[in-house]
Chain A
Amino acid sequence: MSNIPANLRYTESHEWVLDNGDGTLTIGITDHAQEALGDVVFVELPEVGRELDKGEEFGVIESVKAASDLYAPLDGEIVAINEALEDAPETVNSSPYDDGWLLTIKTSDSDALDDLLDADAYAAIVDAEA
């Protein structure tokens, strides 16, 4: 059973979103997603400053057996990316909700967070896939 923290919001494409409370959101992929991918070997992230639209592809996570596109959960401008993943992509496996974060965006519309899945709703999706 994968770990689904209650304080996060989720997408159906297995990203999580953390509201940092300062108008910025941190985004990563879920424990379930990293487990399904297997050993992550590469994370391709966009450049800081790029504007993302909700649903837009912003990068790719590659494992030995699969490659998965990453989608923006919300509109926003990228303010930081996790550069440590370049040398240590396996952090996404070992710490998906913490050191394995992908990027931080600044959003003008924090209310849109409410449109994302809560932990229970995401857990239901994970169960349905199993």
Chain B
Amino acid sequence: MGTLLLRRLLYSIPVLLVASFLMFWMVRTTFDPTARLRVSRDPAVIEEERERLGLNDSIFTQYRVWLGDFIRGDWGESSRTRQPVSEVIPQAFGNTLQLIVWGVLISALIAIGIGVYSALKQYSAGDYVFTGLTYVGISMPPFWFALIAIHFLAVAPQDWFGLSSPPVKFVGLHDVGSSGLNWDYLQHLILPVLTLSVQLMASWTRFQRSSTLDVLSSDYIRTARAKGVPRGRVIVRHAMRNSLIPLVTVIAVDAGLLFGGLIITETIFSIPGMGRLFFQSLLQGDVVVLEAWMLVVAIFILLFNLFADLAYGILDPRIRVQ
């Protein structure tokens, strides 16, 4: 196991380096950090600033310098807020992490429940209903779901029931002056978590259904039943344990992708997380934040992919042997 981990890590480093260089190149050559000086200052000042920022060096030199600083923990300063990026990103990261943890947890539990149910009652009315719903969930753009959900769960109920404030909130994670795990937090959390869960739930449910069906048709399940093991015990002890293995890896990969994929949810619900940070930095050409953001997100996606590979190896002994 240790050597496998080591080998995979060593493989990942060049991939990560090349990916981070490409992203760095793209951001550096797209935005001009001196654009804001252009209106009021004379060319000499701009030239001096470019020299100071090292923008006249070759892109490789720029990348080397930037990567060196990044590894040493000097991530630069946001041109938008003048805060050090090494503080901005962890802050935003914390908020995003809350969404991801709740979203993944709830989606996984529901997906496992419905997936196993659908597989056990294959071709029943319930199975058809749930399969239809997963189809819809996968085919729906999440941002559209968010807009419709805001309307029907937050805005419209105020008119229907004559409420003074929306039953669920859709701005931020807390009301002003409130913090911690409380009712207010829950009210804010419902809509964003629902939004990011719809697609996850739908695709994981389909996955869990088919992997349960695979396991249920295997010989050792029939053997267990033939030996006289009760049906419930066969499902929980024999079938579910094995059918969860593929889902674990899918969850890990998808969770990694979420770090870059919350741009929509956080923008719509004004949650100061990684996605919104990216969006705002992009709109204002905040190069320093964008560069660090890209690398941090790529590292997380990579780590979760690695975790998925390793988890598969640990959970499924047949893979380990190879």
A and B form one complex: no
